[in-house]
Amino acid sequence: MASLAVTANEIRKSIIKAVHSAKSGHPGGSLSAADIFTYLYFEEMNIDPKNPKDPNRDRFVLSKGHVAPGYYATLAERGYFPKEDLLTLRKIGSHLQGHPCIAHTPGVDMSSGSLGQGISAAVGMALAAKLRGDDYRVYTLLGDGEIQEGQVWEAAMFAGHRKLDNLVVIVDNNGLQIDGNVADVCSPYPIADKFKAFNFNVVEIDGHDFDQIADAFKAARECKGMPTAIIAKTIKGKGVSFMENQASWHGSAPNDEQTAIALKDLEQ
Amino acid sequence: MADVKKIATRESYGNALVELGKKHDNVVVLDADLAAATKTGVFKKAFPERHIDCGIAEANMVGIGAGLAAAGMVPFVSSFAMFAAGRAFEQVRNSVGYPHLNVKIGATHAGISVGEDGATHQCNEDIALMRTIPGMVVINPADDTEAKAAVQAAYEHDGPVYLRFGRLAAPVIFDPEDYKFEIGKGQVISEGTDVTIIATGLMVGNSIDAAKMLEEKGISAKVINMATIKPLDEELVIAAAKETGKVVTVEEHSVIGGLGSAVCDVLSEKCPTQVLKIGVNDEFGHSGPALDLIAEFGLDAKGIAEKVEAFVK
């Protein structure tokens, strides 16, 4: 687990460098999800960066597509493309679009970014596996603000109804959205009870504790006849002192000075 | 046309899906609680495990279709045009169009010929919406023969396709024995010299009849069936415009953004020509028997003939 923490820290540094280079992007939610990304791509998922289109691979859909910097940093760290590419984020000619695009980036299984849509695509992929008797698994990461979208619950109703136990929905519960606290803007709470009501197996964890993350994905594999929702309590901006728990870092880039401080924070 | 065989193109859609299902086990049909109306019920009966009822949740249904396509299946996502193209527009745009996934959208109950259900269900905007999405093919078949051929062509095409079908029984125009459908190709149904009538979908039969009425008045109208609205058969449109000078478009859709606009887009740039757009003007429909509505909106043969006559004179 110690090595996972080291990997996650490298991914966090890459997020800061990429967003700084782009002068825009979404660092807060990328940092909150970095440990989940790390566990998925370095432990949990059956994937091969050298064969990103393998039909038997596990799939991942980033439903909260705006945290593309976290996703791209993870894919680069895992070897899908060179880490230098991360500095081209959001620039003309780059394969790293502001939000994930299936046609451009190796390892991206679905275009996403319009909130609420990724989970439906993940459900469709899980359904395809069931229809054809394939044994791959499908993972999708949602924001806690994103679950205000009605489509999320259309998808959850369908997944529960169809007993898609090859589907894992992870909610990055960092508590903040653009306009402030999710609880103040339009409360999604209680999140766990909502997914339980939609016939999900629900696991609540600290999304920065790799032991708890590991146990949650293990519980998801063992659960038959129900999809699993992992509600991961996280800290928006995790690892960077001045970004932690600040909604203002949802979608803004650090300047040179702030980048230096952030990278120093992540050296410790 | 009392003795002509009539079949609603939504029926053709369901029947064509069954034939596709027999040949290809990657075909899967999605519906949103409207299988009885979209006529995918026959597919459900034949292949129950490959018919997925998503419940009344069209946005999610389109997304599931995207996921199925991303995993290598060929989903036909079915609902009324109002909900497939209207409610789920942004899902079609972002989850199907942008990733250019192999999703086929079977939209039934298009236009005012929905009839009694009224304006909430009469979609006159779907062609306009769908043709703005990059890479989307838009097909509006005229009859049973063409509709079945279009479903087959949509399956063979790699990429998203929007198929527009009607609720009302439509006369069978084309003989399946010698009919060939090709995406992006229109067909000249009859030659004429004074004006070209380019029609699509349910309006093809009415335009053929209108041309006969015009002939009796000494007006020679060329009639073209334009099933594929995108990509448009530009070559055929330009050649006809050069040949007859004046062009009329006829569609059971708003005059804003549909076939008429697509034809004007081409002609204004490549062959400036006077065009009369016949369709639903900038207004909503309302309840009533379908045929009465079509007559009221001036989309029956008589209404079309009157407008063309006035335009040509």
pLDDT in the model for residue A97: 98
Q: What is the pLDDT of residues A18-40, one digit of tens each?
A: 999 999 999 999 999 999 999 99
What domains does chain A contain, in order, with CATH numbers?
2-267 (3.40.50.970)
d(CA B23, CA A166): 28
Give me the sheet containing B195-199, strands edge to edge. B187-190, B221-225, B195-199, B246-254, B274-280
**Contact residues on chain B for A116, CB-CB shorter than 8 A:** 59
**Contact residues on chain A for B90, CB-CB shorter than 8 A:** 114
User: 3-state class of A26 per DSSP?
Assistant: coil
Per-residue pLDDT, averaged over A62-85, amounts to: 98
H helices present in A79-190, as ranges:
118-132, 150-161, 182-186
**Contact residues on chain B for A110, CB-CB shorter than 8 A:** 66-67, 70, 95, 99
Residue by residue, pLDDT tens for chain B (313 residues) are 457 899 999 999 999 999 999 999 999 999 999 999 999 999 999 999 999 999 999 999 999 999 999 999 999 999 999 999 999 999 999 999 999 999 999 999 999 999 999 999 999 999 999 999 999 999 999 999 999 999 999 999 999 999 999 999 999 999 999 999 999 999 999 999 999 999 999 999 999 999 999 999 999 999 999 999 999 999 999 999 999 999 999 999 999 999 999 999 999 999 999 999 999 999 999 999 999 999 999 999 999 999 999 999 9
Nearest-Cα distance to chain A for B59, in Å, is 6
Per-residue pLDDT, averaged over A134-140, amounts to: 98
**Topology annotation, domain B187-312:** Rossmann fold (3.40.50)
Interface of B with A in 27-86 (CB under 8 A): 28, 49-50, 52, 54-55, 57, 59-60, 62-73, 75
pLDDT in the model for residue B1: 45
CATH 3.40.50.920 domain extents, chain B: 187-312
pLDDT in the model for residue B4: 83
Find, among B55, B107, B54, the residue nearest to B79 by Cα: B107
Mean model confidence pLDDT for chain A? 97
Closest chain A residue to the Cα of B62, Cα to Cα = A120
Q: What CATH number labels B6-171? A: 3.40.50.970
The DSSP code sequence of chain B is -TTS-EEEHHHHHHHHHHHHHHH-TTEEEEESS-HHHHTTHHHHHH-GGGEEE--S-HHHHHHHHHHHHHTT-EEEEEEEHIIIIIITHHHIIIIIITTT---EEEEESBSGGGGGG-GGG-BSSHHHHHHTSTT-EEE---SHHHHHHHHHHHHHSSS-EEEE--SSEEE--S-TTT----TT--EEEE--SSEEEEE-TTHHHHHHHHHHHHHHTT--EEEEE--EEES--HHHHHHHHHHHSEEEEEEEEETTTSHHHHHHHHHHHHS--EEEEEEE-SS----S-HHHHHHHTT-SHHHHHHHHHHHH-
Nearest-Cα distance to chain B for A264, in Å, is 38
Q: What is the pLDDT of residues A190-249, one digit of tens each?
A: 999 999 999 999 999 999 999 999 999 999 999 999 999 999 999 999 999 999 999 999
**Contact residues on chain A for B66, CB-CB shorter than 8 A:** 110, 120-121, 124
d(CA B100, CA B23): 24
Q: What is the pLDDT of residues A212-223, one digit of tens each?
A: 999 999 999 999
Confidence bin at A44 (pLDDT 50/70/90): very high
ipTM entry: 0.96
**Mind telling me the catalytic residues of B?**
58
Cβ separation A120–B66 shorter than 8 A: yes
CATH 3.40.50.970 domain extents, chain B: 6-171
Cα B40 to the center of its chain, rounded Å: 17
B30-A53-A139 Cα angle (round to 5):
60
